[in-house]
Amino acid sequence: MHPDELAALRSPAGAAALTAAAQVLAAPGGDDPLTAATALRTAGVPAPLATAALTQAALRARAVGKFGPAAARMFFTRAGLEQATRAVVADRRAARLRAAGVRHLADLGCGVGADTLAAARAGIRVYAVEADPATAAIAAANAEATGLADLVTVVCADATDVDLTGVDAAFCDPARRSGTGRRTFDPDSYSPSWDFVRSLVARVPRTVLKVAPGIDHALIPPGAEAEWVSVDRDVVEAAFWCGPLAGPPRRATLLRSGRPATGLVGDGGEPVAVGPVRRYLYDPDGAVVRAHLVAAFAATVSGTLGDESIAYVYADTPTDTPYGRCLEITDVLPFSLKRLRAVLRERGVTRLEILKRGSPLDPAQLRRDLRLRTAAGAGVAASLVLTRVAGAPTALLGHPVSAPPGPVGAPAR
């Protein structure tokens, strides 16, 4: 978005156009671009402003999942929204920084400002640096729109050039996109560069670096705590907490709608106990797996692994745990398509979820090959786990502990 476009949207006429655009998009047929544009033009909104308002209103609607009701007051670009930290994650980080005594934070590469705003909400003054002029203008507009401008100073500059004297902590969430806008998993393609990002640790002792969840553990700065965060079982980020901010070497933080946050910590090198398949299988949360805390998790449910390289945990009893889904295993079968098809038919299974770890099979293809019977309103639901046990390809059949086998649609126990 060009800064002039942002200025137009922030004018009284722009605010009115944004309100009208949100109403048009929510009305029947509003998802058709031509209908929406015509409706705004008919309401007297000039064409360029109508286009900008419709784009912005659509971005705000998409942003609700990350920012809640505040999205309706904020400004976004498509890339800025995609890269922005969810408020629930940013607020947690900000609260931890504040609790650690941080009062003045540099946010280097602040984007549209999700982390900056969260820090300001926590009462931290923020020096927000953004290289892209339009994005920097949006970050400043968002600070004003959310009533946090007094705590936020946005500067449009290259983060590698700014003076960090006076801040008592630094946060950096580098852009992880290639020149074509596609996501990159290679830290050497980060912007600011990975060399700059990791050098911050020596310049500002209290530093937090946000990185992609798939980051190589070898890149964790010495002495840092590496945290993986999941939201509703979806791993959304990793962050390295450096210097005095570091806690235990590895942490998995699980945020779930409507429940308190939970965290599992360890050193990531806990010894792994391997044993046979047992009656209950746990599929650990992705944050636990990424943090290399599967062995630490197994200890919390008195579990063992079936194969030391595969993150399924087996135990004799079901334990109510936030760290993984629990399935009751009813059948352990050496993998054979014919045998599996026969067992599923015999059980009347018509609805099957397929989980896999350590299996080369394509679940979608397997589902087709299994040719499950379809039965409207009847039949049995089951879970199929494709894995290896002691090196052997194995199929495990079972059901979630909270939803035992039974007619499809039967209430969970």
Ligand X SMILES: C[S@@+](CC[C@H](N)C(=O)[O-])C[C@H]1O[C@@H](n2cnc3c(N)ncnc32)[C@H](O)[C@@H]1O
Closest to ligand X by CB, 85 or 387: 85
CB of 118 to ligand X, least distance (A): 8
Rounded Cα distance between 148 and 353, Å, is 46
Rounded Cα distance between 242 and 172, Å, is 12
Closest to ligand X by CB, 105 or 110: 110
Q: Are strands 324-334 and 392-400 parallel, antiparallel or unpaired?
A: antiparallel
- What does the binding site for ligand X look like in residue numbers (CB under 6 A)? 83-85, 109-115, 129-132, 135, 158-160, 173-175, 191-192
Rounded Cα distance between 270 and 297, Å, is 10
Rounded Cα distance between 360 and 375, Å, is 29
Closest to ligand X by CB, 160 or 199: 160
Q: How many residues are recorded in the chain? A: 413
Closest to ligand X by CB, 113 or 268: 113
Contact 318, 399 (CB under 8 A): no
CB of 227 to ligand X, least distance (A): 16
Contact 285, 234 (CB under 8 A): no
- Sequence-distant (6+) residues with CB within 8 A of 113 are 84, 107, 128, 138, 139, 142, 143, 152, 154
CB of 256 to ligand X, least distance (A): 21
Closest to ligand X by CB, 130 or 283: 130
Task: Give me the helix-helix angle, 33-42 and 12-26, nearest 10°.
Answer: 130
CB of 152 to ligand X, least distance (A): 13
CB of 11 to ligand X, least distance (A): 24
Closest to ligand X by CB, 107 or 307: 107
CB of 357 to ligand X, least distance (A): 30
